[in-house]
């Protein structure tokens, strides 16, 4: 087992940077996961947050993360993360989202698209991505107001995509996808003249994040202890996923 050490977001980038081929087509996948700590009462950075798995608010540690997905080799590499701890830094998850994307641009990453789920589809986030000159692909909730006064799920959407006016943003294109279980997803992008195949391929790449999160929760153990150096917030985090979750180290994950 590797020796434990303090680990910050910049350390993650330093380690993965040699594996990032900036000339290869890629997408950036932004998302968050919640490490449940339902039996923990006094661990720093544990907050009640909504869990998609539990469909309720539970105690846990929120991790906002950004992954680089190579569209040629299908590599998935985490390149940045933030711990959601609003009590200490006052930052919402959306703030972390914007900051890690801005830093990715500063580092010279030019994605084919940024992909995220409906949680991060706020106007501020969409405008932030647009300000970088990037394309975004996301899912909108069925009750999102479009075309000035209509709910998204009330529209007649073409198989080839339908232009809609997103209030407060401008014109985008929506595609309607129906899953085998009957669930309907409204996938939207700001790309000019997008095809259904393009949107599907980008969103399919995003599903790799679900595998990532499952692996995190399998091998991450967050110890409910206060470390000796209590003035610095640290937690034990068993996971550094390099080159598709092939390497695992033991590190102190720090904000």
What is the extent of the structural domain holding 34? 6-253
- Which has more confidence, 217 or 185? 185
% of the chain beyond a pLDDT of 90? 49
Task: Indicate yes or no: pTM above 0.85.
Answer: no
Residues 6+ apart with CB under 8 A from 150: none
Give the closest residue to 35 by CA, choosing from 54, 62, 64, 65: 62
pLDDT digits (tens, 9 = 90+) for 47-71: 655 555 555 555 666 778 899 999 9
Question: Is residue 37 assigned to a domain?
Answer: yes
Question: Is residue 136 assigned to a domain?
Answer: yes
Looking up residue 90, the CATH number of its domain turns out to be 3.90.350.10
Please tell me the distance from the alpha carbon of residue 115 to that of residue 121, in angstroms, as a whole number.
10
pLDDT at 253 over 60: no
Question: Is residue 196 assigned to a domain?
Answer: yes
Task: Count how many domains the chain has.
Answer: 1
Question: Across residues 231-248, what is the average pLDDT?
Answer: 36
In eight-state DSSP terms, residue 3 is P
Tokens found for residue 107: 């580092």
Q: How far is CA 107 from the centre of its chain?
A: 18
pLDDT digits (tens, 9 = 90+) for 122-155: 999 999 999 999 999 999 999 999 998 999 999 9
- Bridge partners of 93, per DSSP, are none
Question: Is residue 1 assigned to a domain?
Answer: no
- Which has more confidence, 35 or 178? 178
With bands split at pLDDT 50, 70 and 90, how would you rate the model's confidence at 3? very low
């Amino acid at each position: 087992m590797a020796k434990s050490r303090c680990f910050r977001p910049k350390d993650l980038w330093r380690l993965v940077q040699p594996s990032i081929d900036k000339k290869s087509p890629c997408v950036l996948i932004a998302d968050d996961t919640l490490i449940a700590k339902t039996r923990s009462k006094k661990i720093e950075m544990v907050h009640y947050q909504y869990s998609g798995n539990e469909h309720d608010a539970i105690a846990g540690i929120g991790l906002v993360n950004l992954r680089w997905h190579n569209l040629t080799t299908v590599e998935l590499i985490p390149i940045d993360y933030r711990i959601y701890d609003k009590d200490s830094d006052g930052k919402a998850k959306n703030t972390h989202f914007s900051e890690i994307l801005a830093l990715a641009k500063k580092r010279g990453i030019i994605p084919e698209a940024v992909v995220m789920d409906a949680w991060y589809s706020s106007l501020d986030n969409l405008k932030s991505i647009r300000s970088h000159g990037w394309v975004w692909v996301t899912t909108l909730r069925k009750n999102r107001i479009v075309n000035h006064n209509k709910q998204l799920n009330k529209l007649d959407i073409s198989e080839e995509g339908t232009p809609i006016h997103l209030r407060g943003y401008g014109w985008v294109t929506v595609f309607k996808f129906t899953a085998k279980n009957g669930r309907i997803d409204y996938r939207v992008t700001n790309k000019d003249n997008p095809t259904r195949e393009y949107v599907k391929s980008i969103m399919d790449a995003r599903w790799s994040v679900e595998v990532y999160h499952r692996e995190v929760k399998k091998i991450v153990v967050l110890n409910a202890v206060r470390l000796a150096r209590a003035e610095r917030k640290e937690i034990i985090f068993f996971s550094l996923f390099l080159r598709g979750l092939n390497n695992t180290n033991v590190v102190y994950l720090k904000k």
